[in-house]
Amino acid sequence: MKPITEYQDYRCYMQDYYDERKRVSSFSWREFARAAGFTSPTYLKLVCEGKTRLSSVGAEKVGAAMHLAGYELDYFKLMVECCHAKTDADRKVIFESMLKIAKDNAVKVVDGDAYKYFETWIHPVVRELAPVMPGATPGEIARRCCLEASAGEVRESLDFMVDAGLLKKNGDAYEQVGRHLTGSPKIMSVAMRSLHHEMIHFADEALEKFSATERNYSGLTMGISDEDYEKIVQEINACRKRIAQIALNGRGVGRVYRLNLQLFPLTWEEGKNHA
């Protein structure tokens, strides 16, 4: 069975634990529930199917039934909290506690690199800048950024991306490695939302900071149906991919740009209560 830090959904971990025990013995959901102190023989099966949930007390009992102890038990309990967090802000705090547990115990969280990379603007920007500035110091890269960054932050970003396999260091130069970072949707949505908040803020600042020849802002207000919305989203996705291909086949990097494609409602749906 995989190490617990390769999971972000406690239900998946429980199901894998059950399947592994079942594979080598006559283990049953009844036995699993009894070991955790539950009277219902199907309760944990229902938990794994997403039809009910574990409480914090239940997480402690199930963790003990799976013979988890020390940091593994702490990690499992945090997984339960993270899955049931009501807001992205709460989920972010809990997931960062999971990352800290993994770091303190010299183990790696599978989604950890993706979460860290997309959580802040500095990693994507430095990943584009470093390869076109061979021999540059972290301070020189930081000064090239329009956004405020310290040499220490750039150095930490470079070290992280080399360790994560996103950059490769050759002497005093860096080159991009084409690794594609993925993660569980719940965790990635937290990181991506944080990045989008930052980029929307930077876009607002750029409206005054740069001349119209250095930026391109346009907008369209329109009334559309749900079906039209889906068609427009498909067009936006296709457009984004074509633009990415232009950048990929480009003749070098003069500056690092950010493209925000934003489509959002300005009115509520008819008949809905929005009090």
| pLDDT tens digits for range 6-59 | 898 999 999 999 999 999 999 999 999 999 999 999 999 999 999 999 999 999
Give the count of beta carbons closer than 10 Å to the beta carbon of residue 75: 24
Q: Looking at the domain assignment, is residue 36 inside a domain?
A: yes
pLDDT value for 183: 65
Instruction: List phi, psi (to 5°) of 136.
Output: -70, 145
Give the domain extent around 45: 4-106
Q: Does the residue 125 lie in any domain?
A: no
Tell me 52's DSSP state.
Answer: S
Q: Is the pLDDT of residue 179 over 70?
A: no
Residue 155 lies in a domain: no
- Between the CA atoms of 167, 169, 174 and 178, what dihedral angle is there, to the nearest 10 degrees? -30
The answer to whether position 48 is within a domain reads: yes
Measured in degrees and rounded to the nearest 5, phi and psi for residue 167 equal -130, 150
Measured between alpha carbons, how far apart are the two ends of the chain, in Å?
A: 48
Backbone angles phi, psi at 228, to 5 degrees: -60, -40
Per-residue pLDDT, 270: 79
* Token code pair at residue 261: 């494609």
Q: Is 48 exposed, middle or buried (0-12, 13-18, 19+ CB in 10 A)?
A: buried
pLDDT band at residue 154 using 50, 70 and 90 as cut-offs: very high
* b/e burial code for range 78-96 (CB count within 10 A of at least 16 → b): bbbbbbbbeebeebbebbb
In a domain, 259, yes or no: no
168 in any annotated domain:
no
pLDDT higher than threshold 80 for residue 271: no
Domain of residue 66, CATH code = 1.10.260
Both structure tokens of 173:
């130069």
Instruction: Outline where the chain has alpha helix (H).
Output: 10-24, 29-35, 43-48, 56-65, 70-83, 88-104, 112-119, 122-129, 138-144, 151-163, 185-209, 226-248
DSSP line for 93-122: HHHHHHHHHHHHTT---TTHHHHHHHHSTH
Which residues, other chains included, contact 75 with Cβ-Cβ below 8 Å and sequence gap of 6+? 4, 5, 98, 101, 102
Mean pLDDT of the chain: 90
Choose between 145 and 268: higher pLDDT. 145
Q: Is residue 127 part of a domain?
A: no
100: nearest Cα among 89, 84, 112: 112
The tokens for 252 are: 């070098």
Side chain identity at residue 104, one-letter code: D
Q: How many domains does the chain have?
A: 1
Whole-number percent of the chain with pLDDT over 70: 95
pLDDT, residue 135, reads 93
Give a yes or no: residue 91 inside a domain.
Answer: yes
